[in-house]
């Protein structure tokens, strides 16, 4: 059986390479010829730890290839995965034009009975919509919903050792069930990880998972603001709350707001789905609003410290939305940088992996430097946005000696226990009481 992965981005490339790693024959197809060229020349267009070795091994062993001829790749396949982008529209709903285009191409090119697996995050009802698009194809196309839960930065491990695999297909669809079981068997050897359900529930599960996680973050971010007002410490609160087994310790970290290509758009899309059906999803809508407010937190702190930011040089450490990825989509750093530029400040930024993406966005409106300390030279303040490991334990004496003013704003609270105020810094974190 041949597998075709349509869309070779963060999800498609990882999924395609990992399926190949389990012995499957996979063609990754994408309409972006530059991306395919990079891959065919042995490069990897994104930064994702561990991916390069898996891609290289599977290409070398003949199980993985790349093409920009999407129809040709579909013609060979019995399983086509759709992993194209579903970005937000202006009204918050998901833009399904790429999914529709893939469905149409599949219908026009399928050469045998096959499954079309929707791996992209798509609103409830999309499976039914895609079925309508492919219904007149010359061979039966079984449309399956299989949302992806991998995390950028840990994507390979998440794909090969998933918590669960959600598969939505008709209860009596033996053809689809057999193919999906077989494809995921290698990552379910220790226990059956497939959670079978109807397509609508599978589609909704993805949005509910992401919104639940986003909600925890927004709630803790609100509580962090309250901590600052009442003299409490968000770390202590987090430990106290997270030690309750019913709550657990994960996704309770206060910070500069969540970013990335998933949480912001998926929360908005869920709210939009609710409205489409005459239901205001209050918690989800508020989660989104709280996050928008939180993304301004470091800028507000800078404003209250300096009042006038014109001509101030602000160093930014970390532009990606989280460590171990070069992805800057919806990153809180962008909100800060945009506000600083609008206020007339000068921005000097450093990020171990996201420089290229940030340069595409900002050109020469901000200065990017190779070494983290260079960003701090002559800076009036240093803002930590992404908790890359290399920023965890910097030489603070050196920082103090090269900065124009020793002002540290720690958006991830990674320096809050270092006694930086006692060392002569103006230090502030998110909801922390530090010394
Ligand atoms: P991405 O932007 O990195 O990749 C999408 C790819 O699809 C691009 O390379 C684009 O050129 C290609 N494409 C667009 N239209 C196409 C078409 N008609 N035919 C072939 N290729 C086409 O996006 P991503 O981050 O991989 O996300 C893909 C989907 O997976 C989205 O729905 C997203 O919400 C979901 N998802 C993403 C993550 C994540 O961490 N990035 C995690 C889980 C789910």
Q: How far is the CA of 266 from the centre of ligand 1 (A)?
A: 14
Residues 296 and 365: beta-carbon distance below 8 Å: no
Residues with CB under 6 A from ligand 1: 6-12, 29-32, 35, 70, 83-86, 98, 101-102, 120-121, 148, 150, 152, 261-262
pLDDT at 344: 97
Average pLDDT over residues 421-426: 96
pLDDT, average across residues 414-430: 96
Residue 4's pLDDT band (boundaries 50, 70, 90)?
very high
Q: What DSSP line would sit under 309-372, residue for residue?
A: -TT-EEEEE--SSSTT----TT-HHHHHHHHHHHTT-EEEEE-SS-HHHHHHHHGGGSEE-SSH
Query: Span 370-390, mean pLDDT?
Result: 98
Return the residue whose CA atom lies nearest to atom 22 of ligand 1.
7
pLDDT at 381: 98
Residue 57 scores a pLDDT above 90: yes
Q: Residue 99 Cα, ligand 1 centroid: separation in angstroms?
A: 10
11 Cα nearest atom in ligand 1: 26
Predicted confidence (pLDDT) at residue 217 exceeds the cutoff of 90: yes
- Tell me the best of 4, 5, 12 to mutate to test the pocket of ligand 1, counting ligand atoms within 8 Å of each CB and taking the most: 12
Q: Which atom of ligand 1 is nearest to the CA of 122?
A: 32
The alpha carbon of 429 and the centre of ligand 1 are apart by a number of angstroms equal to: 34
pLDDT at 434 over 90: no
Q: With 90 as the cut, is the pLDDT of residue 276 above it? A: yes
- Residue 435 pLDDT level (bands cut at 50, 70, 90): confident
- pLDDT of res. 41: 98
**Candidate of 48, 261, 327 to mutate for ligand 1, largest count of ligand atoms within 8 Å of Cβ:** 261
Residue 170's Cα: distance from chain center in Å?
Answer: 29
Fold category of 206-293 in CATH: 1.10.1040
Q: Considering only the top CATH level, what class is 2-197?
A: alpha beta
pTM for the whole thing? 0.95
Mean per-residue pLDDT for 367-385? 98
CA-nearest residue for atom 3, ligand 1, is 9
For residue 294, how far is its CA from the centre of ligand 1 (angstroms)? Answer: 27
CA distance 80 to 57: 22
User: Token pair for residue 89?
Assistant: 């529209």
**pLDDT of 95 over the 90 cut:** yes
Average pLDDT along the chain: 97
- The answer on pLDDT for 191 being more than 90 is no
How many other C-beta atoms are found inside a 10 Å radius of the C-beta of residue 328? 25
Checking if the pLDDT of 317 tops 90, the result is: yes
Q: How far is the CA of 102 from the centre of ligand 1 (A)?
A: 12
Q: Do domains 206-293 and 295-428 have the same CATH topology?
A: no
| Residue to probe by mutation, ligand 1, list 85, 108, 210, most atoms within 8 Å of CB | 85
Atom of ligand 1 nearest to the CA of 10: 26
User: Mean pLDDT, to the nearest integer, of 353-374?
Assistant: 97
Domain boundaries, the chain: 2-197, 206-293, 295-428
**Range with the poorest average pLDDT among 5-9, 178-182, 190-194, 372-376:** 190-194
Measured in angstroms, how far is the CA atom of residue 121 from the centroid of ligand 1? 9
Q: Cα dist. 166→83, 145, 184, 247, 434 in Å?
A: 15, 8, 11, 23, 43
**What is the per-residue pLDDT for 212?**
98
pLDDT at 364: 95
Gap between the Cα atoms of 120 and 154, Å rounded: 18
Residue 32 C-alpha to ligand 1 middle, in angstroms? 11
Q: Which atom of ligand 1 is nearest to the CA of 120?
A: 32
Atom of ligand 1 nearest to the CA of 149: 43
Q: Whose CA is nearest to atom 1 of ligand 1?
A: 9
Instruction: Express as a percent the part of the chain with pLDDT over 70.
Output: 100
Catalytic residues, by residue number, are 262
φ/ψ of 211, rounded to 5, equals: -70, -35
Q: What is the CATH number of domain 295-428?
A: 3.40.50.720
């Amino acid at each position: 059986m041949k597998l075709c992965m349509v869309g070779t981005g963060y999800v498609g490339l990882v999924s395609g390479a990992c399926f190949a790693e389990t012995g499957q024959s996979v063609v990754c197809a994408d309409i972006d010829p530059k991306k395919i060229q990079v891959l065919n020349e042995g490069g990897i267009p994104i930064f994702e730890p561990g991916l390069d070795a898996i891609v290289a091994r599977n290409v070398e062993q003949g199980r993985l290839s790349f093409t920009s001829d999407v129809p040709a790749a579909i013609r060979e396949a019995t399983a086509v995965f759709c992993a194209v982008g579903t970005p937000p529209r202006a009204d918050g709903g998901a833009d399904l034009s790429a999914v529709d285009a893939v469905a149409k191409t599949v219908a026009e090119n399928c050469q045998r009975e096959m499954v079309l697996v929707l791996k992209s995050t798509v609103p409830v009802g999309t499976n039914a919509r895609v079925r309508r698009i492919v219904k007149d194809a010359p061979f039966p196309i079984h449309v399956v919903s299989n949302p992806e839960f991998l995390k950028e930065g840990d994507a390979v491990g998440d794909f090969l050792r998933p918590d669960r695999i959600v598969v939505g297909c008709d209860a009596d669809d033996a053809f689809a069930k057999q193919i999906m079981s077989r494809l995921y068997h290698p990552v379910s050897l220790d226990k059956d990880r497939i959670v079978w359900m109807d397509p609508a529930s599978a589609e909704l599960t993805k949005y509910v998972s992401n919104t639940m996680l986003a909600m925890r973050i927004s709630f803790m971010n609100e509580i962090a603001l309250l901590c600052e007002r009442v003299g409490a410490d968000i770390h202590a609160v987090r430990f106290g709350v997270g030690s309750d087994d019913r709550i657990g310790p994960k996704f309770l970290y206060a910070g500069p707001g969540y970013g990335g290509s998933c949480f912001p758009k998926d929360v908005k899309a869920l709210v939009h789905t609710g409205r489409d059906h005459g239901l205001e999803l209050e918690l989800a809508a508020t989660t989104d609003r709280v996050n928008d407010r939180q993304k301004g937190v470091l800028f507000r702190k800078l404003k209250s410290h300096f009042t006038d930011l014109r001509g101030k040089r602000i160093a930014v450490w970390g532009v990606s939305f989280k460590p171990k990825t070069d992805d800057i989509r919806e990153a809180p750093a962008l909100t800060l940088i945009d506000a600083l530029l609008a206020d007339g400040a000068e921005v000097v930024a450093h990020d171990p992996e996201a420089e290229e993406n940030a340069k595409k966005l900002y050109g020469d409106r901000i200065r990017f430097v190779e070494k983290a300390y260079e960003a701090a030279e002559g800076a009036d303040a240093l803002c930590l946005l992404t908790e890359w490991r290399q920023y965890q334990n910097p030489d603070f004496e050196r920082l103090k000696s090269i900065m124009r003013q020793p002002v540290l704003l720690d958006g991830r609270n990674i320096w809050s226990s270092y006694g930086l105020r006692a060392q002569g810094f103006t230090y502030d974190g998110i909801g922390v009481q530090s010394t």
